[in-house]
Each structure stands twice: as C-alpha cells, then as structure tokens.
A and B are shown apart, each in its own frame.
Chain A
Amino acid sequence: MSVPGYHRPKSVEDAARLLAETDGARCLSGGATLVAMMNASLAEPKAIVSLAGIPELAGIAELANGGFRIGAMTRHAATAADARLAGTLAVLRDAARQIANPVVRNMGTIGGSIGFADPAADYPPALVAANAEVEIVNAAGRRRVAARDFFVDWYTTACGPGEFVTGVHLPPPRPGAGLYRKLARVSGDFAIASVALSAARDAAGVSVRIAVGGCGPRPIRADAADALLSAKFGDAAAAAAAGEALAAAADPVDDVRASAEYRRLVIPRLVAETVAHARAALEAR
C-alpha cells in the first residue's frame, strides 16, 4: 500500500485504532457515496481507512440463535440474493433488490449505506421493520444499538467520532411475510415514500412492525400503527387508521422528488397497498 494516507487494515480492531488516531480519516466501504462526494469536492479526507481487507466484515452468517449477522461490507447484491432471509426477514431482501441498479448493487454495502443514513434510502425502514440491531465499533470495543435508535436525524446516526458500523444483527426469521414497497420517480431512484413491513403469524395471531422511509429525518414508525395492524391484519379500516397514524408521525420536507404535502397524502395509500400485498402473501403460504 504505497499511497500516502491509504490504509487497508486486516482486523476491525486495527481499523478502529487507525480511525481514532489518524487526523481527518474516513472509512471506505463500497465507495458508492464517499468517492462520489470526493469527486464532487464535497469530502476531502486526509486519510482513508479501507475496510476491504477485513474478512469478518464480508458476508452473511447464521447465528447460534437462528438469527443472522450481515457484515458491514456485504454488497446489496449478496443480501438481495440470500434465500435464508425468508419469512419476516424477507423485508430486507426486498429492500436490497430495489436499491439503485445492478452495477451499484455490486458495489454498495449495507454498512456504508446505513452509516451515511440518507432517510430516503431503502435499508433504514427495512431494518426497523425487521427489528434489527446495528453493531458499532470504536477503539474501546463494540456495542449494539436497536435500528430504531440508530437513525438519529438527517444523515446522522448513533455513531460518534471514531466509530463505524461493523454489521447488522437480525433476529431469527419468523413464519409470515416481509416486504418493502417504494414509490419513486423511476425504478432505482431514492424513495419519494416507502413502506417496510414484517408480519409474523403463528397460532396466537399476527404481529406486525411497519416503518415509513423518505418522509422525515429518520424512519417513521408509530406504536399505534403496529398495534392496529397486529390486532386486525388485512382489515381495510385498520390499515387506513394505521396509515393515518404514520402520516401524522411523519415529518416530510419539500424536495426535488415531491412536496411534503404530497408525501403526507401518499403515506396512507402506500401503507394500504403494502398491507394488501402482505395479506395476499400470507394467504398464499
């Protein structure tokens, strides 16, 4: 590695140490965001800590409890193709396959995407609906943060200075449905609005988690919406009330994709459509 300022550590611990002790250093994962910002002179890191040489960050591993750990360097294409992410966890696969286009899905990583935390990106609401936890490292050690607490504000996460995302932990998949629906100007664009839903079904009934993307500084959720949908899954009035609860919790802005007013109007419709598709998926099982 002969380029000054470029580092390719072989372990997470070495990467965390380099990040902490190197002035102006940034982590590089897939490059889809950081290098684009460097090309546009929006980021000028003095040093790069590449995560490309750390084996434990690549790939999806099944855990002893039946859940999964997705390493931070796992490409969107690999997540989209992993059939083990089934049942309630299918929400994550469904989101991954709708990110950008095949070439970008070969480059972009889950750690890079959620570390950047664009609220119109596809993973944030899907991780909240999947009840995931995000694994973070710093020079002192690792910690885990629930996805719903990881996304803090516009482009802001629970990661502090000197910290980076090492992976995502998913609970064991439950029988049921998981899906992600996105309203976008063209296929592969960032969301105008999106809905991520997981519905676990067993003898006791249905348990739903739902989150909305692209409509505020972080994924939008509402306890009332989860409760309404869990109590009467597939019921049109319950879906409408859940959609209204999520629209009320949203905090959208006007941007190049749509107005805030349009987003508030479209959330209940997208929620109703997503619930209808989830119900059809459950009945088809």
Chain B
Amino acid sequence: MTLALSINGRIRHVQAGLSDTLLTVLRDQLLLTAAKRGCNQGVCGACTVLIDGRPQRACLSLAANCEGAAITTLEGLQRDAGMARLQKAFTATGAVQCGFCTPGVLVSAHALLSHNADPRTDEIRAGLSGNLCRCSGYRKIAEAVAEAAKEAKP
C-alpha cells in the first residue's frame, strides 16, 4: 500500500507492507543507496540516517512508522558545507578503505559535529561508537573527523 514519506525535503510515495523497513524502501524503491544494508539488526550502523534531525537506524525503522517524520539521508546532505568538509577530510586522510561503512559514519560524524564543534578524540570515538568499520580503519576515521572540525574553525 502507498505511504507518503518526507525524504530529503520532498514527499515521496512508496509501496510498503507491514514488515518493510525504511532501509528497504530507500534502497529498493527510491534508489537512495548511500544507506547500506549491513547486519539488518541495528548493530553495524551502515544504514544510519537522520530521522527528525537525529541519527537513527533505517533498518530498525518500519516504513509505516516513518509517516510524519523528516528523513534525511546522506544524499540529502550533499549541499551541506559541514558534510563537504567531512568528505574532503575523509578523502585526504585515507579514512575510506572498502567504503561500505563510510556513508553511515559520515551521517554520525555530521551529527556529532553539529552538537560539538570541537570534539576531543575520546568524544569522536564515543560519537562514532555506533558505526562499525570491518576494515578496522578507526584511527584514520577519527583523524578525519578531527581534521574536518579544524577546517570549520574561523
């Protein structure tokens, strides 16, 4: 049946059954594939998106329960200056290995920096603790977030 979801500032109409998740409709119907299906259990963080401004798991959100919420995926942040700084820093620092976790990490890092513009290393690690990198490239990811925060300073 048809649902009307607010995604990246636009109302999008999707077909969903009772057990379909937000992640499924994003990837399979809207072809917004930045959010990845990793564990599908809420553990890995590869599907992290913003729901009403807060990072949450698309795989643990039933599509039907998302009507009325404002959903922002990584694609919706492509004109955001803070996200551009993060992406540049990730590239320059070598924080992307296989890249599968990167979209979720970027969404979590963006949320972290929007609340804490100058995080310490332990705050960066705690802020990203919901995102697993199976290449185990955590050190460079934390360095990249610190670099993006430094770049943002006037």
Contacts and interface: CB of A to CB of B under 8 A. Distances in A.
A48 B42 contact: no
Given A39-B40, A48-B64, A4 B56 contact: no
B64 A102 contact: no
Interface string B49-77: 00000111101111111010000000000
Contacts of A52: 65
Nearest to A48: B18
Interface string B97-118: 0000000000010011000000
A11 interface: no
Interface string A29-63: 01110011011100011011010100000000000
Q: Which of A3, A4, A6, A36 has the most CB of B within 10 A?
A: A3
Contacts of B67: 1
Interface residues of B, number: 33
A40 B2 contact: no
Contact of B60 (A101, A107, A188): A107
For this complex, into which size category does the number of interface residues on chain A fall?
A: 20 to 34
Interface in B1-48: 1-3, 16-19, 21, 40-42, 45, 48
Contact of B59 (A28, A35, A48): A35
B17 to A, nearest CB: 7
A2 B56 contact: no
Q: Which of A1, A35, A187 has the most CB of B within 10 A?
A: A35
A106 interface: yes
A100 interface: yes
A102 B50 CA distance: 13
Interface in A1-38: 1-6, 8, 28, 30-32, 35-36, 38
B3 A101 contact: no
Interface of A: 1-6, 8, 28, 30-32, 35-36, 38-40, 44-45, 47-48, 50, 52, 77, 100-104, 106-107, 187-188
